[in-house]
Structure 1
Amino acid sequence: MKPLHFLMMALAILAGPSHAAIQVAGTRIVFDGNQKEQTVRLTNTGDRPVLTQIWLDAGEEQADGTVQAGAQATPFIVNPPVARINSDKAQVVRIFKTAEVAALPQTQESVFWLNVLEVPAKATPAANAEPEAEDNRLNIALRTRLKLFYRPAGVKGDTVTAAEAMAWRVRKDGDDYVVTCANRSPIHISFASLVLKQGEKRSDVPGGLAKPNADETFRFVGAAAGAAGPLTLELNYITELGAFVPVSVPLTVGG
């Protein structure tokens, strides 16, 4: 079957924001290499049926704004790839691993993205609606993405253990502070937020992802300008179950 193509349009034709009707159970998927499949539950919380398309990719975004399912090969099969979910109903999506997972690193996790694209059914025209107004109505296609971590059978440990073993260091670069996280575990560590405090000054960066057996760098722009006193990094990392765990790390420049 040819991949389905959906054009993600951001047109200010409709008044008010658009909200996703499909709620995905959980914020991440950890695929245990000892298992053959994982499941994800999708629930339609809206008042109309929704057509959904579900696929996995390796995290490579399309540059032209289009979303092309199946363009990136992954060692998984999603079933069903397309589903119609009625209002207040749910659909269980099954993710199967294939023999191609053997080509992935077996001593550390690999990360993929699960995509859930929803296209709401066309609304029934109001009895007194003008034809031209109905022609201008736009149904927005919305996409939800969440990480899938494939954890090979030989990889032991969990996010909490990996996060507790992280090593942090900071250096000054002009008016910026550059903070580096050394993750020497085989597990990805996701951060929901990172805040650098020094005296009365605080700077923050969006969350990030520390890859296995690698360093991840975060730049706090302008944080060093006019700041004095002890440095403290406050962060929240995310567990396998999606819980936020707060951590406070004292830092020394050049340490």
Structure 2
Amino acid sequence: MEIKKILLAVFLPLIVSNSANAALALDVTRYIYNGNTSFISAIANNESDKMYGGQVWIDNITESDTRPTFVTTPSFFKINGKGRQVFRIMKMSDHMPKDKESIYWLNLQEIPPANKGNGLSMAIRTRVKLIYRPEAIIEGRSGAEKNITIQHLPGQQWLVNSTPYIFTISDVFDNENKSLIFNNMDKDNLSMFRPGDKVNITGKIVKSVSALNDYGSLETYVLNNQVK
């Protein structure tokens, strides 16, 4: 029994954070919740031949904000082998900003069938982004990446998200279409580039960005303008 506890303590963090070999998988890599809808639907697919249990819930990315915002129903379920489960995501609060997007984590925790004997069951959690888009800004979302601006300050230059949208930027290109190199902190910032966020590009020339659209596909956008 003590050995089992140690093994779980060692491996569980890896198992929770890695969804590559998960039995349960979500139908998309991100969900967009438009403010003019009462709910959105999502699907959990069972890729294995065995019955699995599942749990879904929403976390606030900002840890200091503990107010409940969304609820999933059903939140617990069982899925037969090669089966699927449709669930709903519903807004239960209205405290989010009306003029910019907000972002949350949608979690899918699989509950594996009991192993025979003393085998170790792996319980893998999958986590994807849930973006809430207020009704007032739905219409302007398409191609909004083009409106990312370049701000010039004395001795400095910044790539600024001056839009109300949250972007997942994979690459920033110069005028020769070469990908710029950033440190890990800036890469993390670009991967969840929120309204008002900025990244230092002093000494660099930026022509375009490559970012994920609402459907999880990469597109390249040439920037429209610069802020002087």
Which TM-score bucket, shorter chain as reference? 0.7 to 0.9
Deviation string 1:23-60 (CA, Å, 9 cap, x unpaired) is: 21111111111110001111000122221111001115
| Structure-2 residue corresponding to 1:11 | 11
Q: Distance in 2 between matches of 1:58 and 1:123?
A: 33
| Structure-2 residue corresponding to 1:131 | none
Deviation string 1:1-41 (CA, Å, 9 cap, x unpaired) is: xxxxxxx85429xxxx9711112111111111111000111
**Runs of 4+ that moved beyond 6 A:** 195-198
Number of aligned residue pairs: 211
Aligned runs of 1:2-151 on 2, under 5 Å? 9-11=9-11, 19-60=21-62, 72-98=66-92, 100-101=93-94, 103-124=95-116, 134-135=117-118, 137-151=119-133
Q: Distance in 1 between matches of 2:179 and 2:134?
A: 43
Q: How far did residue 112 of structure 1 move?
A: 1.2
Q: Distance in 2 between matches of 1:202 and 1:185?
A: 22
User: Is this contact kept in 1: 2:171–2:179, CA < 8 A?
Assistant: no
User: Is this contact kept in 1: 2:32–2:214, CA < 8 A?
Assistant: yes
1:209 aligns with 2:192: yes
Q: Distance in 2 between matches of 1:29 and 1:201?
A: 28
1:243 aligns with 2:226: no
* Identical residues among aligned pairs (%): 22
Q: Distance in 1 between matches of 2:145 and 2:28?
A: 20
| Structure-1 residue corresponding to 2:16 | none
Q: How far did residue 159 of structure 1 move?
A: 4.1
Q: Distance in 2 between matches of 1:120 and 1:144?
A: 14
User: Is this contact kept in 2: 1:195–1:203, CA < 8 A?
Assistant: no
Cα distance 1:141–1:155, how it changes in 2: closer, same or farther (>3 A)? same
Q: Distance in 1 between matches of 2:179 and 2:161?
A: 27
Cα distance 1:237–1:139, how it changes in 2: closer, same or farther (>3 A)? same
| Structure-2 residue corresponding to 1:5 | none
Q: How far did residue 96 of structure 1 move?
A: 1.2
Structure 2 counterpart SS, 1:189: coil
Letter in 2 for 1:41: I
Q: Which runs of 5+ in 2 are unaligned?
A: 1-7, 13-18
The structure with more strand, counted as a fraction of residues: 1
Q: Distance in 1 between matches of 2:157 and 2:83?
A: 45
Measured on the aligned residues, the alpha-carbon RMSD in Å equals 3.8
User: Is this contact kept in 2: 1:111–1:148, CA < 8 A?
Assistant: yes
Q: Which protein is bigger by CA-based radius of gyration?
A: 1
The structure with more helix, counted as a fraction of residues: 2
User: Is this contact kept in 1: 2:146–2:222, CA < 8 A?
Assistant: no
Deviation string 1:78-113 (CA, Å, 9 cap, x unpaired) is: 101111112100000101112x21x22111111111
Letter in 2 for 1:151: R
User: Is this contact kept in 1: 2:57–2:107, CA < 8 A?
Assistant: yes
Q: Distance in 2 between matches of 1:40 and 1:201?
A: 35
Q: Distance in 1 between matches of 2:201 and 2:120?
A: 40
Q: Distance in 1 between matches of 2:99 and 2:73?
A: 28
Normalising by structure 1, report the TM-score.
Answer: 0.67
Q: How far did residue 74 of structure 1 move?
A: 2.3
Cα distance 1:183–1:20, how it changes in 2: closer, same or farther (>3 A)? same
Normalising by structure 2, report the TM-score.
Answer: 0.74
Q: Which runs of 5+ in 1 are unaligned?
A: 1-7, 62-70, 125-133, 225-229, 250-254
Letter in 2 for 1:191: I
Structure 2 counterpart SS, 1:203: coil
